[in-house]
Amino acid sequence: MQTYIPRPKYLEKIKPLVNKEIIKVIVGQRRVGKSYLLRQVADYIKENFERANIIFVDKEKFEFQNIQDAKDLVDFVKKRIKTNSLNAIFLDEVQEIIEFQRAVVDFFSSGYDVYISGSNSALLSGELATLLSGRYIEIHVYPLDYNEFLRFHNLPDSQEAVNKYLQFGGMPYLHNIGLEEELVNEYLKTVFETILLKDIVKRFNIRQVDLLERLVLFLADNIGNFVSAKSIADLLKSQRLKISPSVVLNYLKYLSNAFLINKVRRYELQGKRFLEILEKHYFTDLGLRNSLVGYKPGDIDGILENAVFCKLISDGYQVAVGKYNGYEIDFIAKKQSEIIYFQVAYVLSDKRTIDKEFGNLLRIKDNHPKYVISMDQVQFDPYKGIKHLRLREFLKGERV
């Protein structure tokens, strides 16, 4: 049995689903810890269920390279099934297996306990989604949140630790490397190249790899800014790179499918509708972003927005950018019936900034909670019902 640093926020979601007639689908960006989570689940099953028979296929390991398609997978698994046992089948990076959906359907129909993971949001598109509608549950795994970052790196909670988290991000394997800047950047660049080549270029047969890389760099330089496919295409054309808005849209979709970036749409609060033009894009991991374009003080506003966004989606919120009477609301976060509004600022250094950040939220005439988040070291008193949160407390999950 392997030794892990536990990630209970995900393991606790899966425990109640063990040995239930539902396929457990673990998705997320490559290298965020899906494989380790699957192995933690496998160990939990061994410890808590008698006659547990674990069958684990990891397509990133050479020993499983002979499993190329659904038939190979079914043959491999069926040879290892035991009668009168809890047969738990774990398929890691399953998108590497041709027509894996057919094998998963067969395993599910045979009554096996099935867990699959993948690094593409289209994992359950097409046939599997149709055949198993309502019979699977998706658990999205993200990079380490701030509390996990402290635990993985054995750091005390401090402003210095927050700064390290903003710079290096939450890729779990950094635990084995340490937080020395040069080593971190080299590792993160290899992760980026793997995502780009395996999950995007190879999967979607992209030939204009240079354009794709330029697009990612543009997004990294513009976190927190509104962009459109046309504005991106026009900018790349100015750099003598010919690309149409429709190709930009496709590339953005591929980057999102690989969980490298996240598109955030604008929501008009008055009309209660999503707007079709202009959107923001945030990186799933800030460390990956910083390894591409550097960690620069001039980018701090976008970096803070990105960090707040990552915390919200990691906690299960659906996130949009708000628009109200022409004023921007940085984030509208929704989870079931809960709605929270957020403004994000570097520091509340003067009256103008305070009036802007608190004032935008004051214009929203409802009773949902509203917060202004900043890097200030002092705690500001609530203003007309709107509360101030220091980033450090927000990242720890605290509410004042």
String of DSSP letters for 84-102: TSEEEEEEETGGGSBTHHH
Question: What percent of the chain is predicted at pLDDT more than 90?
Answer: 80
Instruction: Count each helix (H run) and each strand (E run) in the chain, helices first.
Output: 17, 12
d(CA 192, CA 260): 8
3-state DSSP call for residue 9? Answer: helix
CA distances from 245 to 259, 266, 311 (A): 21, 19, 31
Q: What kind of architecture, by CATH, is found in domain 8-140?
A: 3-Layer(aba) Sandwich (3.40)
Residue 400: pLDDT above 80? Answer: no
Q: What band does 2 get if pLDDT is binned at 50, 70 and 90?
A: low
Residue-level pLDDT at 233:
92
Q: Which long-range contacts (CB under 8 A, 24 or more apart) does 391-399 make?
A: 391/162, 391/304, 391/307, 391/308, 392/157, 392/159, 392/162, 394/308, 394/311, 395/145, 395/146, 395/147, 395/162, 395/165, 395/307, 395/311, 396/146, 396/147, 396/157, 397/147, 397/315, 399/369, 399/371
The DSSP letter of residue 63 is: G
Residue 221: half-sphere exposure toward Cβ, Cα within 13 Å: 9
Across-strand partners of 87? 53
| Residue 111 DSSP code | T
Burial of 242 (0-12, 13-18, 19+ CB in 10 A): exposed
**Residue pair 284/262 in contact by the 8 Å Cβ criterion:** yes
CA distances from 112 to 15, 75, 79, 98, 268 (A): 16, 15, 14, 21, 46
The pair of three-digit structure tokens given for residue 353, joined into one six-digit string: 């900034």
Residue 376 sits at φ, ψ, to 5 deg, of -55, 145
Q: Confidence band (pLDDT; 50, 70, 90) for 50?
A: very high
Per-residue pLDDT of 335-388, as tens digits, reads 999 999 999 999 998 888 898 999 999 999 899 999 999 999 998 999 888 999
**pTM of the entire structure?**
0.95
- The pLDDT tens digits for 370-379 are 999 999 999 8
pLDDT digits (tens, 9 = 90+) for 93-105: 998 899 898 899 8
Burial of 76 (0-12, 13-18, 19+ CB in 10 A): middle
How are beta strands 338-344 and 327-335 bridged, if at all? antiparallel
- Domain extent listing, the chain: 8-140, 146-395
- pLDDT band, very low/low/confident/very high, at 3 (cuts 50, 70, 90): confident
Asked whether the beta carbons of 253 and 262 are under 8 A apart, the reply is no
pLDDT in tens, 249-299: 999 999 999 999 999 999 999 889 998 889 999 999 999 999 999 999 899
E-only strand ranges, 269-335 = 273-283, 318-324, 327-335
